[in-house]
């Protein structure tokens, strides 16, 4: 792999000796995919595997344990704007190094807790903050800068890391069964540092300081994008909204509502899925495998939906994801046969996975890449309500009724609402400061 040299302090642009055979942006996608896989394996999916062992050892209620995940989502939303500003100012690589170290230390400390108060504090301060700095926000910001025409495809490949990591998390069930959950957390602490730091070293913020251009286009070339859809026209215009300008659009708040509804379902269902499977008579190892298969099924969804969003209006692709999410939640609630479970694993995995890259690419498509990390960070604050409520809805439904059926029915309805919003949201008009020439849009 050929890595571009760091730009010198005396120069802002370094001309490459020759155009590389493989555009360096794809190496960033590959490294970012691995970073997200690590995050998915040990945190987003992995912590769900720890759910049942923690309840069995300490006797905590499901609502109480779900609360830590909800507060963590709230913390991520509140810190999102600050994280975005830090990424835009200091670059994603530095943030990733800090984040990986925090996650590693967090698991080391969690392995030694005995009270739920300590579990809350360590989880929120180290794991929640650390993963926000180590995975999706920084690598997503880098990919948004390195790609324009192929942005959704690149995001789709990037976010396959989540599905790969989710399947990797199935190994945690066997580690916990063989060594206990505390030793498993110690193993995770070592693995995060050993793999995460080399991955972070590959990441670069923007192509221009290295004499490169987005999508690997040669310097000075005229970039043409066929405006077949509103998204394609937005990309072709390359309008870069400032954060305050993005906040002044109705589109921004519709996106936050739409993304929040998606998080309401996915954060609640995925966290409680292993526990739901154990309740239905499966072993912890099998329950972890089922959750891992959902994550694995999300990989083709991420690839296909990312590819489709580069060729048609991404709103309609997102609407299809919401429709399939709603149907899959209904099947899981009402069905009990192995065939119903197979449909849920495939349908939910594909639709959940497909919506992930769309969430990231639509922010860049609508508001540009110049302040992407900051605007996406602010949008995390706007969508965090769904990530907060999802685990609590599922936990409270079980503690109140002894079943997850009520929660799954709620998720069916919220997915349908998201489906409707997809047909309402539109790309915003360019900021007033850029409406300078009739029939054209200036780039900034």
Tens digits of residue pLDDT in 19-29: 667 899 999 99
Is 382 or 191 the better-scoring residue by pLDDT?
191
Does pTM surpass 0.85?
no
The Cα–Cα gap between 161 and 397 comes to: 31
- The CATH number of the domain holding residue 385 is 1.20.1250.20
The mean per-residue pLDDT over the stretch 350-363 comes to: 87
The total domain count for the chain is: 1
**Is residue 15 a part of any domain in this protein?**
no
User: Contact 70/391 with Cβ under 8 angstroms?
Assistant: yes
**Is residue 3 a part of any domain in this protein?**
no
Share of the chain above pLDDT 70, in %: 89
Predicted pLDDT of residue 7: 58
**Is residue 8 a part of any domain in this protein?**
no
**Is residue 170 a part of any domain in this protein?**
yes
**Is residue 302 a part of any domain in this protein?**
yes
Is the per-residue pLDDT at 3 higher than 70?
Answer: no
Q: How confident is the model at residue 204 (pLDDT cuts 50, 70, 90)?
A: very high
Any alpha helices (H) in 229-337, and if so which ranges?
230-237, 243-247, 250-279, 284-309, 314-334
Domain that holds residue 300: 24-211+228-430
Predicted pLDDT of residue 443: 44
Give 269-320 pLDDT, tens digit per residue. Answer: 877 888 888 888 888 788 888 888 888 888 898 888 888 888 888 899 999 9
Predicted pLDDT of residue 171: 87
User: Other C-beta atoms within 10 Å of 248: how many?
Assistant: 13
The mean per-residue pLDDT over the stretch 209-223 comes to: 76
Any alpha helices (H) in 59-150, and if so which ranges?
62-90, 92-110, 116-122, 129-134, 136-146
**Is residue 443 a part of any domain in this protein?**
no
**Is residue 13 a part of any domain in this protein?**
no
Predicted pLDDT of residue 105: 96
Q: How confident is the model at residue 442 (pLDDT cuts 50, 70, 90)?
A: very low
Predicted pLDDT of residue 236: 60
Give the largest Cα separation in the chain, rounded.
68
**Is residue 197 a part of any domain in this protein?**
yes
Is the per-residue pLDDT at 75 higher than 80?
Answer: no
């Amino acid at each position: 792999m050929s890595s571009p040299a760091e730009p010198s302090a005396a120069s802002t642009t370094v001309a490459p000796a020759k155009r590389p055979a493989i555009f360096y942006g794809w190496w960033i996608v590959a490294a970012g995919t691995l970073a997200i896989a690590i995050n998915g394996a040990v945190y987003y999916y992995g912590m769900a595997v720890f759910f049942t062992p923690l309840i069995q050892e300490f006797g905590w209620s499901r609502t109480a344990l779900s609360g830590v995940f909800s507060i963590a989502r709230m913390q991520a939303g509140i810190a999102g704007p600050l994280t975005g500003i830090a990424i835009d100012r200091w670059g994603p690589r530095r943030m990733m190094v800090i984040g990986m170290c925090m996650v590693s230390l967090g698991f080391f400390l969690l392995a030694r807790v005995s009270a739920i108060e300590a579990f809350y504090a360590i989880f929120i301060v180290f794991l929640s903050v650390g993963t926000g700095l180590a995975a999706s926000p920084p690598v997503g910001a880098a990919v948004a800068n390195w790609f324009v025409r192929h942005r959704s495809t690149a995001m789709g490949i990037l976010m396959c890391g989540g599905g790969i990591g989710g399947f990797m998390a199935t190994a945690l069930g066997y580690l916990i069964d063989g060594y206990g959950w505390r030793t498993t957390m110690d193993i995770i602490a070592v693995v995060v540092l050993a793999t995460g730091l080399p991955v972070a070293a590959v990441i670069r913020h923007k192509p221009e300081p290295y004499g490169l251009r987005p999508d690997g286009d040669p310097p000075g070339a005229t970039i043409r994008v066929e405006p077949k859809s509103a998204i394609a026209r937005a990309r072709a215009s390359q309008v870069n909204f400032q954060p305050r300008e993005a906040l002044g659009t109705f589109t921004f708040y519709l996106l936050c509502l739409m993304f929040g509804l998606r998080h309401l379902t996915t954060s609640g269902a995925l966290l409680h899925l292993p526990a739901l499977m154990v309740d239905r008579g499966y072993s912890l190892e099998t329950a972890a495998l089922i959750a891992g298969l959902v994550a694995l099924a999300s990989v083709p969804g991420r690839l296909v939906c990312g590819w489709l969003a580069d060729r048609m209006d991404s709103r309609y692709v997102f609407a299809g994801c919401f429709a399939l999410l709603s149907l899959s939640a209904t099947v899981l609630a009402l069905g009990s046969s192995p065939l119903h479970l197979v449909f849920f694993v495939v349908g939910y995995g594909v639709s959940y996975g497909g919506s992930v890259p769309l969430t990231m690419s639509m922010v860049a498509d609508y508001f540009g890449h110049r302040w992407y990390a900051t605007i996406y960070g602010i949008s995390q604050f706007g969508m965090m309500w769904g990530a907060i409520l999802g685990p609590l809805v599922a936990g409270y439904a079980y503690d109140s009724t002894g079943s997850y059926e009520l929660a799954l029915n709620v998720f069916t309805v919220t997915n349908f609402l998201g489906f409707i919003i997809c047909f309402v949201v539109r790309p915003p008009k360019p900021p007033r400061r850029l409406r300078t020439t009739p029939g054209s849009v200036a780039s900034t």
